[in-house]
Amino acid sequence: MAVFEMRNARKAFGLLEVLKGVSLKVEKGEVVSIIGPSGGGKSTMLRCATLLETMDSGTLAYGENVAAREENGKSVYAGKAALAQVRRQFGLVFQQFDLFPHYTVLKNVCDAPISVQKRDRAEVEAEAMALLDKMGLKGKENAYPYQLSGGQQRVAIARALAMKPEILFFDEPTSALDPLLTGEVLRVIRSLADEHMTMVIVTHEMPFARAVSDRVVFLDGGVIVEQGSPEQV
């Protein structure tokens, strides 16, 4: 069963049709890159996938959990409890990392697993330390985000991974970074790909998309114009 499936998603903002029937299915362990011109609907698609926006029509499911089904040409969303379950299945990393500035790095990573997932603090902290190490941020756990010269995006990735998502979405994770920091973040994402983390990555980094992806999807004008192996697309 697919980890993630969106079918025939449509979304308009007023008269502007941004998604015109987008379908995407992601299997366990797959890495899918989404590329395409600015304004093509990539962020809107990710925002619909991660329940930050509602689709006008189309269906959305994570494994067996249905977030939205379609009835009379309209998306009908599941109830609060079912959507809460769905939210546990994905993680999201934005261009702007949105760390809490008044929390230490460790607290940024551990806060949701402890206070939302109600997991054991000691266990979560131990896992967080291992994640920070993996992100190349060993020894930074007690720093505040502003004290990291760069590296915030890697904290954001650690924070998303701490929730143990089944699939991780990235929306242009490097577009706010300089080349050096971009390289570090891309290396981290590549190491996750090597471990077969299921990921959907919106990116402008074409050589990276080619190297890391099983599939590349080209989204333009609210439709998937082409998709296939990196060589094909």
CB of 41 to ligand ADP, least distance (A): 4
110 binds ligand ADP (CB under 6 A): no
Taking CB under 6 A as the criterion, which residues in 36-55 touch ligand ADP? 38-44
Question: Do residues 134 and 154 touch, judged by C-beta distance below 8 A?
Answer: no
- Nearest CB to ligand ADP, comparing residues 6 and 124: 6
33 binds ligand ADP (CB under 6 A): no
Q: Greatest CA span in the chain, whole angstroms?
A: 55
Write down the residue that tokens 């577009």 correspond to. 175
Q: Does 113 bind ligand ADP (CB under 6 A)?
A: no
In the bound complex, what is the minimum distance in angstroms from residue 201's beta carbon to ligand ADP? 13
Element (H, E) at 93: strand 90-93
Output 162 or 219, the one with its CB closest to ligand ADP: 219
Question: Edge-to-edge strand order for the sheet containing 57-62?
Answer: 16-26, 4-13, 57-62, 65-71, 74-77
Judged by CB under 6 A, the stretch of 33-41, 69-77, 113-121, 149-157 that binds ligand ADP is 33-41
Closest to 173 (Cα-Cα) out of 160, 162, 186, 163: 186
DSSP 8-state secondary structure symbol assigned to residue 224: E
With contacts defined by CB under 5 A, name the span among 39-47, 121-129, 178-186, 211-219 that binds Mg ion. 39-47
Nearer to Mg ion, 65 or 95 (CB): 95
Nearest to 163 by CA among 91, 67, 64: 91
Question: What is the sign, positive or negative, of the torsion defined by CA atoms of 79, 82, 83, 84?
Answer: positive
Tell me the site size for ligand ADP, rule CB under 6 A: 10
Q: List residues near ligand ADP by CB under 6 A.
A: 13, 16, 18, 38-44
Question: Contact residues for Mg ion (CB under 5 A)?
Answer: 42-43
